[in-house]
Structure 1
C-alpha cells in the first residue's frame, strides 16, 4: 500500500498533534517544586503514564478530567508527596491549554485535501469544541479512545469506510487499536527506522506530509 491508497487517517491526538507530555510536565510543576525528586522528566512522565493506564478501565466512570485528577493524586502518592483534590482538579483543567505541535495545523490543513481526517483522543465535553476548532475537524470526527471504530460495522457503514481504507497515525507509546495499517510518528528521531509492526514511519507530521507528496509523484 502507498500513502495515497487510503481514504481516511485516524490520527492520535496526544503526542502526534498535541504536545501532551510538555503540557503534563508543566502542570506537574506545582506538585514537584520545592521537593527533592531524583527522577528525571522522562521518568516522571513514565510514572504518570503508568498510573493513567491503570485508571483507564474506569474511564466511563471518571471521564477524562476525573481520570487526570485521580492520576495526579496517585502519582503524588507514588512519589511520596502530598496533593489535595483541588490541586488535582486544577491539574486536570490544564488539558485545555496543552499546545499543538508546531507542524500539526499545517499538516492537518494539507492532509484534509486528500483524506477524511479522524482524530483519536479524549477530552471533557467543555473542551471538545475548542480542540476540534484548533485541529480543523468536525466535532463528530473526534473519536473517544474508549471505543474502536475499526471494529464497529455500523460506524464504518455509516461513514462509507472499511478498515482497509483507514491508516492509523500514532505515536509509539499510544497503544493504537488493532485491525488497520499503522503509521508511526516518532518525534525527535532524526532517522526513523520502520518497526516491523508499522507500514509507514515518519519523524513528524511535516515528514508525513513530505512522504505523501513523494507518493503523489510516483
Structure 2
C-alpha cells in the first residue's frame, strides 16, 4: 500500500519519538562515575537493553518504574557497585524527562492531519498525561507494549479499523516482531540492515513527513 492509503499509524514511543538512549545515558552517569574509567556508550546501552528485556516478563508485577529501578540495580551488580533503592528510583523517575527527538513534535502535528496516531510504549500512569500532551495525542491512543491492538479483533472493531489500515512505525530493535505494513525509522543509518526488512526504510520522522508529501503529489 502507498503511504496515503493507511488510516492510522502505530508508532513506537521510545527510539522513534522519545530519545530513550540519551535519557538513559544521562541518568546512568552517577553510577558510571562510581565505576570510574571510560565507559563505552554503545556497550552500556546494550547492557541496559539486555537487563530490561530480562525483566520484561515481570512487567505486570513491577510496572515501569519498578522495572527501571531493578534494571539500575542489576547494572550496578554487573559492574561490582552498590546502589541504593533511592538511586534506583531516581534513575527510574528520570524517564519523565526524557527528551523528544527534535523532529517528533512537528512530524506528529503534520501526520495527525492525515492519520489517527497511536503510540506504543510503557510509562507510569502519572507520566502518561504529560507525555501524551507533548506528543499531541489523547491518553486513549497511548497503548501499552503489553498489548498488541493489531491482534485484538474487538479493539479493531471498536476503532473501526482493519489490520491493513494500520502502518507500524518502529525501530530496528523491534522490526522482527512486525510482519507486514512496517515503516522502519533508523536514526543511525549505519545500523540499518541491507536489504531493509521493512516496507519503508527511512532515517527519521521528518523523512516520513517528506515521503508522505511526495506521495500526495503522485
Q: Spell out the pairing of 1:48-197 with structure 2 (5 A cutoff).
A: 48-174=48-174, 177-189=177-189, 195-197=195-197
Measured in 1, the distance between the counterparts of 2:17 and 2:196 equals: 23
3-state SS in 2 of match to 1:173:
helix
| 145 and 195 in structure 1: CA distance in 2 versus 1, 3 angstrom threshold | farther
Residues 1:217 and 1:178: Cα distance change in structure 2 (over 3 Å) = same
3-state SS of paired residue (1:206): helix
The alpha carbon displacement at 1:95 in A equals: 0.4
Give the CA RMSD over aligned residues. Answer: 1.7
Q: Does structure 2 conserve the Cα–Cα contact (< 8 Å) formed by 1:192 and 1:202? A: no
Q: Please, which runs of 5 or more residues in structure 2 have no aligned partner?
A: none
TM-score by length of 1: 0.95
Q: Mean Cα displacement is larger for which, 157-166 or 30-39?
A: 30-39
1:18 is aligned to 18
SS of the counterpart of 1:18? Answer: coil
**2:8 corresponds to which residue?**
8
Q: Find the counterpart in structure 2 of residue 32 from structure 1.
A: 32
2:129 counterpart SS class: helix
Q: Residues 191 and 71 of structure 1: is their aligned pair in 2 closer, same or farther, counting only changes over 3 Å?
A: closer
Structure 1 residues 71 and 37, CA gap change in structure 2 (3 angstroms): farther
> Does residue 1:207 correspond to 2:207, yes or no?
yes
In the superposition, relative to structure 1, how do residues 194 and 10 fare at CA in structure 2: closer, same or farther (>3 Å)? farther
Structure 1 residues 192 and 55, CA gap change in structure 2 (3 angstroms): closer
Q: Is the 8 A contact 2:4 2:212 kept in 1?
A: yes
TM-score normalised by structure 2 residue count: 0.95
> In the comparison of the two structures, how many residue pairs are matched?
218
Contact 1:192–1:203 (Cα < 8 Å) also in 2:
no
* Structure 1 runs not aligned, ≥5 long: none
Task: State the shift of 1:192 in Å.
Answer: 6.5
Q: What CA deviation, in whole Å up to 9, does each residue of 1:133-179 have, x standing for no partner?
A: 00000000000001111100000000011111111101112356435
Contact 2:180 2:199 in 1 (8 A): no
